[in-house]
Amino acid sequence: MPACPPARLKEVAIPRTVLLSALLIASGWAGRLAAQQAAAPPNGPTALTTDGARIRLTYAGGAVFEGTVSDSSAELRTLVDTTDGVVTQVLKWTVRGGAPFTLVGTIAASDEAFPCEVDRREDGLAVIRHSVGLSHSLLNRAVYDRSSDWVLSLDYPAAVVVTPLDSSASGTVFRLEATGREVALRFRPRYYGRHRGLTQFAPWTYRTWRHSVAGWTSWFAFRDRVTERDIEQTVDVLAEALAPFGYEYVQIDDGFQRTPMGLPDTWLETNEKFPAGLVGLTGMITRSGFKSGLWTNVSFHQREEALAHPEYFVRNADGTPAYGNWIGYVMDGSGPATLDDLVRPVYRTLRAMGWSYFKVDALRHLRYEGYNSHRDYFRDRGIDPLATYRGFVEAIRNEIGTESFLLASWGVRPELVGLIDACRLGDDGFGYGGFAQYNSFNNVVWRNDPDHIELTEQDAYPATMATSLTGSLLMLTDKPEVYRTEVVEAARRAAPVLFTVPGQIYDVDPSRSAHLARAGTELSGSGPRELDAEQLARHHLYLLEVNRPFERWMVLGRTGGDDRLIQFAELGLSPQPTHLVFEFWSRRFLGELADGFQPGEIDPRFHAQLFCIRERLAHPQVVATNRHVSCGGPDLVDVVWNGASLTGVSDLVANDEYIIFLREPDGYRFGDVRAAGAEVVDSTFVGGLRKIRLHAPGGGRVRWSVRYERE
């Protein structure tokens, strides 16, 4: 195929060292991808071995379950269904007229396995659950192994307890105990791939992005009028106001490129608003301590170039380049020259310049107005349009490597599973709907992007809180002066974003994910479609379970709904031990409660509530810290009670007041508090809790100790 005019390509001056660096990046990605490739696990049932009361289930060459039935008279029935390639295996034990019996055993899985719910509870409280570390929730009835995409679960109504026993890089072991007069064990291979309809899901070939992704994007702040000076001023403010708290990325959106967009030089050479160019821009961002991100899209709008070189494009019956709304002239990813001349040079050069966060837009339009709308073009040539679509994005991924973050925009893109790190689930502007409509995808399939957050009076606290508690993508988009006001506190307490896994591998609201197949038949992406997440909030409770070696606790975020009694059992906690409940934003201690708590009305200052919930201990204990919405997730490194003092290790932010809230039970008299690496500002007992304030001008790790005497 003829190449684009050499004169146009020469406009992009790419240094020899940049080209060499880009080639190394691309070859490194290819090598890592090849190393990650593993044999696909079988889409079939386990092999059952039983010897009286003992049972063993073997899958893909290893035992996934070994256990014992307490009543040897229990009658076993088995079923394997393979309808339409969706495999379900069920083993059911029944005792007729006898007492309840117990199935006890161990589940062996990979290091990516986690406990969860896979089947929806009848009349259960609608809580969107996530966990940091391996969950111990009493709501769990299953173990999902992401690396092989299988789930082993217990059917209702048997009582079930799933307990993590051991976890390492070599695998994870869980204890399973199920009790009832009827116990049914259910095995589902290819759960997301077949049962959930994600045909491209092959998790044995890739891992999800595990690092915090929090930062700022220019779109709603400046739209396409953004200038180099705007970025400089914003970066200066971000470096002072938000970077110390975990905001790492600065992403430039639409407005830097030359127009009309099309050939590589329109992306690689900036317009007059950015005189330093992309090299100068990324240098300024990285020198300020941030990682640089850039918006691009996959449209082509240079009419003369398209008409002069129709071979690069999907073509109409008369041979002219096909055109679609939003996408312009449709680049034909099935042609190697299209990718080599129009796509790869852009991302190869950007990565070599130092850009590490890539937001690729118009991907819905490439699929809908592009390849779906011109299905005949591909059919007549014997080409698979879906494979072409994936190949187009894979070319981008090959150039930027796995070290770079790749965000697909906009709308749910089930075809790109495994190629992208995150997906913007809905329309332009922050959306709450995806938290419930695609909660099961988050950090299993990709990282969910609810889109950027404006720190408005209404949304600052609920939006940042919900995004952080779910482990989603957290990007702000305000003008820099906003971060000089008090509302910045909402953003500071939400970063960094902890890596979470979902507590439910079904969607709390399935109304959108049920329509994933629609992606193959849509011809227009001009507005939200049935599979795209909504922006309005229909669910209001966000539960994060934090599991650390020294302690486990829960955090419940609330953004609306009624204020009826929330029972601990509905949150997966045992109702037997008493729990401590502390409201984070208002710093109000609700007390020591037995069965549950009444959340009360939401404070109009915050438009949200955040409850820290810990089991009451017999000695002084930490109830919460003020650093983060997880009530200690990123800052509490260790906490130990030695019989006379409570000692801890915390990571403090420079010049940020650090507060530790302690419960002091009867029989313990406060002595003193000491801190190595920070100043103890004061210690007061207010509202039923001791409040200790620390200050460290340089931040960093602080060791503190609170001494007590027995009364």
How do residues 655-668 score in pLDDT, each as one tens digit? 999 999 999 999 99
Parallel, antiparallel, or unpaired for β 54-59 and 645-652? unpaired
In a domain, residue 533? The reply is no
How do residues 258-310 score in pLDDT, each as one tens digit? 999 999 999 999 999 999 999 999 999 999 999 999 999 999 999 999 999 99
21 — pLDDT class (breaks 50, 70, 90): very low
554 — pLDDT class (breaks 50, 70, 90): very high
* Number of structural domains in the chain: 3
- pLDDT at residue number 7: 30
Q: Give the residue carrying structure tokens 């103890």.
A: 680
Residue 4 pLDDT more than 60?
no
How do residues 183-242 score in pLDDT, each as one tens digit? 999 999 999 999 999 999 999 999 999 999 999 999 999 999 999 999 999 999 999 999
Among 520, 553, 585, give the residue marking a domain's end: 520
CA dist., res. 157 & res. 637, Å (int): 39
CATH number (domain holding residue 293): 3.20.20.70
CA dist., res. 408 & res. 366, Å (int): 12
Answer yes or no: do 503 and 550 share one domain. Answer: no
In a domain, residue 72? The reply is yes
How do residues 618-664 score in pLDDT, each as one tens digit? 999 999 999 999 999 999 999 999 999 999 999 999 999 999 999 99
Among 166, 195, 224, give the residue marking a domain's end: 195
- Please report which helix (H) or strand (E) contains residue 461, including its range: helix 460-469
CA dist., res. 100 & res. 180, Å (int): 5
- pLDDT at residue number 24: 30
Answer yes or no: do 215 and 189 share one domain. Answer: no
Answer yes or no: do 411 and 444 share one domain. Answer: yes
What pTM does this model have?
A: 0.94
244 — pLDDT class (breaks 50, 70, 90): very high
In a domain, residue 37? The reply is no
15 — pLDDT class (breaks 50, 70, 90): very low
The percent of residues above 90 in pLDDT, for the chain, comes to: 91
Residue 38 pLDDT more than 80?
no
H helices present in 249-299, as ranges: 264-268, 277-287
Answer yes or no: do 398 and 468 share one domain. Answer: yes
- pLDDT at residue number 123: 87
Cis peptide before 496, with omega less than 30 degrees from 0? yes
CA dist., res. 202 & res. 191, Å (int): 11
CA dist., res. 127 & res. 12, Å (int): 52
Q: What is the 3-state secondary structure (H, E, C) of 37-70?
A: CCCCCCCCCCEEEEECCEEEEEECCEEEEEEEEC
In a domain, residue 204? The reply is no
576 — pLDDT class (breaks 50, 70, 90): confident
- The boundaries of the domain holding residue 583 are 542-710
In a domain, residue 468? The reply is yes
Residue 3 pLDDT more than 70?
no
* Overall residue count recorded for the chain in this entry: 711
5 — pLDDT class (breaks 50, 70, 90): very low
- pLDDT at residue number 165: 96
- pLDDT at residue number 488: 98
Answer yes or no: do 181 and 281 share one domain. Answer: no
Nearest to 540 by CA among 518, 525, 557: 557
Residue 14 pLDDT more than 90?
no
In a domain, residue 409? The reply is yes
Mean pLDDT of 2-10: 37
704 — pLDDT class (breaks 50, 70, 90): very high
Answer yes or no: do 696 and 578 share one domain. Answer: yes
- pLDDT at residue number 42: 97
How do residues 65-84 score in pLDDT, each as one tens digit? 999 999 989 999 999 999 99
In a domain, residue 304? The reply is yes
Answer yes or no: do 468 and 333 share one domain. Answer: yes
Answer yes or no: do 249 and 385 share one domain. Answer: yes
Tell me the CA end-to-end span of the chain in Å, nearest whole number.
88
Structure tokens at 181: 């007069």
How do residues 156-173 score in pLDDT, each as one tens digit? 999 999 999 988 888 999
Nearest to 410 by CA among 422, 426, 397: 426
Mean pLDDT of 546-569: 96
Among 469, 485, 520, give the residue marking a domain's end: 520
Answer yes or no: do 575 and 496 share one domain. Answer: no
Structure tokens at 677: 């690496």
Answer yes or no: do 436 and 562 share one domain. Answer: no
- Secondary structure E strands in 52-197: 54-59, 62-69, 75-81, 88-94, 101-109, 113-116, 128-132, 142-145, 150-154, 159-168, 171-180, 182-188
Residue 16 pLDDT more than 70?
no
Answer yes or no: do 475 and 547 share one domain. Answer: no
Answer yes or no: do 284 and 214 share one domain. Answer: yes
CA-only gyration radius of the chain, Å: 27
In a domain, residue 486? The reply is yes
Mapping DSSP to helix (H, G, I), strand (E, B) and coil, where does residue 188 land?
A: strand
CA dist., res. 661 & res. 690, Å (int): 6
Structure tokens at 74: 């229990």
